[in-house]
Homo-oligomer: A and B are copies of this chain.
Amino acid sequence: MGAPTVYDVAKRAQVSIATVSRVYRNPDTVRSQTRDRVLAVARELGYVPSGNARGLASRSTGVLGLCFPDYADPEVEDDGAADDPEQMLYADEITRGMERAARRHGYALLIAASLAGGPESLVAKVAGRVDGFAVLARTVPTEDLEIISRRLPVVMIAGPREIDHLDHLEVANADGEYEMATHLIRDHGLRRLAFLGGTTDSPDAEARFHGFQRACAAAGLAVPDEPDTRGNFTQADGRAATDRLLQRVGQPPEAMVCANDQMALGALQALERQGLRVPQDVAVVGFDGIPLGRMVRPSLTTVTQPMRKLGEAAVDLLVERLGEPNRSPRSMLLPVTQTRRESCGCPSPAPEAGLSRLG
């Protein structure tokens, strides 16, 4: 009934359990004749090594972990939305990147969205079973992270560098937004730009605003202290924030620079409702590079984050640190790319891959 173990295999193959173990761990240290016999018996018995026992004994699991917040609202999960690419958020792309990279390095990936059971559950589930893991900002309480990171490598993805001895990964938020704003000012000749910011507790959004400020300063424009309006990153927030802005200022801005794509989409909607044309009357740009941005009309100009690469870099950092535990903490800044589509006033981009003859 119970699954066969090294003991069963050893007995049947007339060797000691050590030899069986060696066959799997250090095949070259076993005479090939013996090895073949053991393997044959193993196959015959249906032996599968216990990862737990192996991990216990060798103090390593060959598994990396990823914790991310549970963005999606489980309630709103009708079938339509369930397969909506809009739902293809951040975390999924990072997961994909990590999975790939982990595999390349011979690791498997354990994923967990933090939610249920309090922090204990997350910690127990993931931290106890992996050799190291990545955390999306604000998923795990800093306090817990502090504890866990004493035990195994942790890399923090995005967000602020809450704990300074952790490896840290972020994208060029400020530089990306600087470039984008500069593009609007320089290439499209726009002067009255408005910034639709995120919540003040989002370091990413704040960094983007700083980039925006720098661009204004560099162009000799008035530098705002604060975003002209703010939202909580959803499309609905983008609409509302845009409405508020339009209501407040008499004349609409020439361009709206939004802290993320979702809100930029909301801005598009709000502007259209007000009878303002994009990009003729108001240019709109986002940040993130979500798939939906390509589908809407006008298509959304945005700063594209290398989300897949974030995941890969996270794994690389973990593997590096596993190999060299006392290496000083590293912080990586990943570059972003400008994706110029229609909403900033650029000509409709060349048809994109896969759509060449369909557009």
Task: Establish whether residues B108 and A103, one from each chain, have CB atoms under 8 Å apart when the complex forms.
Answer: no
- Judge whether A54 and B85 touch: CB under 8 Å: no
Asked whether any CB of chain B lies closer than 8 Å to the CB of A41, the reply is no
Docked pose: A112 CA to B152 CA in angstroms? 22
Q: Please tell me the number of chain A residues within 8 Å of chain B, measured between CB atoms.
A: 86
* Residues on B with beta carbons closer than 8 Å to the beta carbon of A80: 352-353
Taken residue by residue from 87 to 115, chain A's Cβ proximity to chain B (1 for < 8 Å, 0 otherwise) reads as 01000110110011001101011111101
Q: How distant is A276 from chain B, measured CB to nearest CB, in Å? A: 13
- Answer yes or no: A51 CB below 8 A from chain B CBs: yes
At the interface, yes or no: A354 with Cβ under 8 Å from chain B? yes
The minimal Cβ–Cβ distance linking A62 to chain B, given in whole angstroms, is 6
Partner of A92, one of B82, B96, B352: B96
Distance from A119 Cβ to chain B, minimum over Cβ atoms (Å): 11
The distance in angstroms between the C-alpha atoms of A152 and B48, with both chains bound, is 10
A18 is an interface residue with CB less than 8 A from chain B: no
Contact A272 B358, beta carbon cutoff 8 Å: yes
Q: Does A207 contact B (CB under 8 A)?
A: no
User: Of B96, B108, B151, B289, which is within 8 A of A112 by CB?
Assistant: B108
A260 at the interface (CB under 8 A from B): no
| A150 to B152 CA separation, bound complex (whole angstroms) | 34
- Answer whether A357 and B273 are a contact pair too, CB < 8 Å, given A110-B110, A124-B49, A337-B79: yes
Q: Which A327-344 residues have a C-beta within 8 angstroms of B?
A: 337
Determine if A211 is an interface residue (Cβ-Cβ < 8 Å).
Answer: no
Which of B24, B307, B354, B359 meets A84, CB within 8 Å?
A: B354
Q: Which residues of the other chain, B, contact A308 by a CB distance below 8 angstroms?
A: 82-83
Q: Quick one: given A52-B52, A106-B116, A147-B48, are A358 and B265 in contact (CB under 8 Å)?
A: yes
Binds B, one of A125-133, A166-174, A222-230, A240-248: A125-133
Task: Determine whether A19 belongs to the interface, using a CB cutoff of 8 Å to chain B.
Answer: no
A100 nearest CB neighbor, chain B only: B74
Chain B's closest residue to A127 (CB) is: B48
Please give, as numbers and ranges, the residues of chain B lying within 8 Å of A147 by CB-CB distance.
43, 46, 48
A51-90 interface code vs B (CB 8 A; 1 in, 0 out) = 1111110000111000000101010000111111110100
> Is there a chain B Cβ closer than 8 Å to A121's Cβ?
yes
Residue among A74, A117, A151 having the largest count of chain B Cβ atoms under 10 Å: A151
29 A-B pairs whose Cβ atoms sit less than 8 Å apart in the complex? A46-B148, A48-B124, A48-B128, A48-B151, A49-B124, A49-B128, A52-B56, A53-B56, A55-B129, A80-B352, A81-B353, A82-B308, A83-B306, A84-B291, A85-B88, A103-B112, A103-B113, A103-B116, A108-B110, A108-B129, A109-B110, A111-B111, A268-B357, A268-B358, A272-B357, A272-B358, A295-B355, A296-B355, A296-B359
Q: List 9 tightest A-B contacts by C-beta distance, closest first.
A: A51-B129, A51-B128, A52-B55, A85-B291, A46-B147, A52-B56, A296-B358, A3-B151, A269-B357
State the A residues within 8 Å of B (CB): 3, 24, 43, 46, 48-56, 61-63, 70, 72, 74, 79-86, 88, 92-93, 95-96, 99-100, 103-104, 106, 108-113, 115-117, 121, 123-129, 147-148, 150-152, 235, 265, 268-269, 272-273, 289, 291-292, 294-297, 304, 306-309, 337, 352-359
